């Protein structure tokens, strides 16, 4: 999102770089530059974060699968809570299993627990992506602000000048007005595209991790209920824990 050098030439053969144009944009232009650097850092961080290998590593899936197949729910909770094993998968599954272990209904509410906790984790993923969307909205407005400031300066020059106004006395103000608009659009257009890409990527990853959690929770469908869980009444139907699925990310396209 940062700006590269760009040379232009006027009819007189004078070459100008983009940095020279940016210098004419003054404070508003520098603010847009700072915003572009910040959002570039956020985008790079999101490219590293929104990967299945970061959100649900294969070794965690294998280890949890073995623990849950052995009905070692306590071991699975301890594994998920270990600091070195923290990721989206372990946070959702670990907190859901912990809630079920403390609930009088046991694993009967596993599905609801996973859905509620997953929504919180999805919101965490989307916060950084929302910064990119916010930048896409703010950048053109900053460009418009620079345009207005430049035009106000141009009219001020006209108002204080006696007689005909020389075009070169207005050039600086008009240049500021135009270049800030261009800079705002240069930041906003890629941000809009990248924001849409990340939201769709989050939706895809959430669906994939949800399928993984559903496969893992099938292993405890017939596990004994946690200590203190409610027991079925005599003669009443015994309900097995329902395989859980992650909710879809809100706003996915």
69 pLDDT tier (thresholds 50, 70, 90): confident
pLDDT above 60 (res 237): no
pLDDT on residue 160: 56
Mean pLDDT of 131-153: 86
Global pTM value: 0.73
pLDDT on residue 117: 87
User: What percent of the chain has pLDDT above 90?
Assistant: 23
18 compared with 96, residue with greater pLDDT? 96
Mean pLDDT of 138-167: 71
pLDDT above 80 (res 88): yes
Nearest to 174 by CA among 158, 151, 152, 156: 151
Q: Give the range with max mean pLDDT: 69-73, 134-138, 216-220, 236-240.
A: 134-138
Mean pLDDT of 80-90: 89
Look up residue 112 and give its two tokens.
């609801």
243 pLDDT tier (thresholds 50, 70, 90): very low
Mean pLDDT of 98-102: 82
Give strand ranges (E) for the chain.
8-9, 15-16
pLDDT on residue 244: 54
Rounded Cα distance, 198 and 187, in Å: 17
pLDDT on residue 181: 86
Other beta carbons within 10 Å of 246: 25
pLDDT on residue 5: 38
DSSP 38-74: HHHHHHHHHHHHSSHHHHS-HHHHHHHHHHHHTT-HH
User: What does residue 9 show for φ and ψ, rounded to 5 degrees?
Assistant: -135, 135
118 pLDDT tier (thresholds 50, 70, 90): confident
12 compared with 80, residue with greater pLDDT? 80
Look up residue 149 and give its two tokens.
């400031």
pLDDT above 90 (res 242): no
Residue for token pair 């396209």: 253
User: What percent of the chain has pLDDT above 70?
Assistant: 65
Other beta carbons within 10 Å of 192: 17
Average pLDDT, the chain: 76
pLDDT above 60 (res 107): yes
Rounded Cα distance, 208 and 246, in Å: 9
194: Cα separation from own chain's centroid: 10
pLDDT on residue 44: 94
């Amino acid at each position: 999102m940062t700006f590269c050098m760009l040379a232009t030439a006027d009819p007189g053969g004078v070459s100008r770089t983009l940095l020279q144009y940016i210098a004419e944009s003054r404070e508003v232009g520098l603010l847009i530059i700072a915003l572009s650097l910040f959002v570039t850092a956020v985008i790079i961080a999101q490219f590293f974060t929104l990967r299945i290998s970061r959100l649900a590593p294969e070794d965690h899936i294998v280890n949890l699968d073995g623990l849950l197949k052995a009905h070692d729910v306590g071991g699975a909770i301890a594994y998920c809570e270990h600091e070195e094993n923290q990721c989206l998968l372990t946070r959702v599954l670990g907190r859901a299993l912990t809630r079920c272990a403390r609930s009088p209904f046991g694993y009967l509410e596993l599905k609801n627990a996973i859905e509620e906790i997953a929504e919180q984790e999805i919101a965490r993923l989307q916060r950084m992506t929302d910064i990119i969307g916010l930048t896409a909205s703010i950048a053109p407005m900053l460009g418009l602000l620079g345009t207005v400031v430049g035009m106000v300066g141009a009219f001020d020059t006209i108002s204080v000048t006696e007689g005909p106004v020389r075009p070169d006395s207005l050039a600086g103000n008009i240049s500021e007005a135009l270049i800030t608009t261009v800079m705002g659009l240069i930041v906003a257009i890629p941000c809009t595209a990248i924001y849409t890409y990340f939201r769709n990527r989050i939706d895809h990853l959430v669906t994939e991790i949800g399928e993984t959690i559903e496969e893992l929770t099938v292993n405890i469908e017939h596990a004994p209920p946690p200590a203190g869980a409610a027991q079925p009444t005599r003669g009443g139907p015994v309900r097995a824990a329902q395989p859980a699925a992650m909710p879809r990310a809100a706003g996915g396209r």
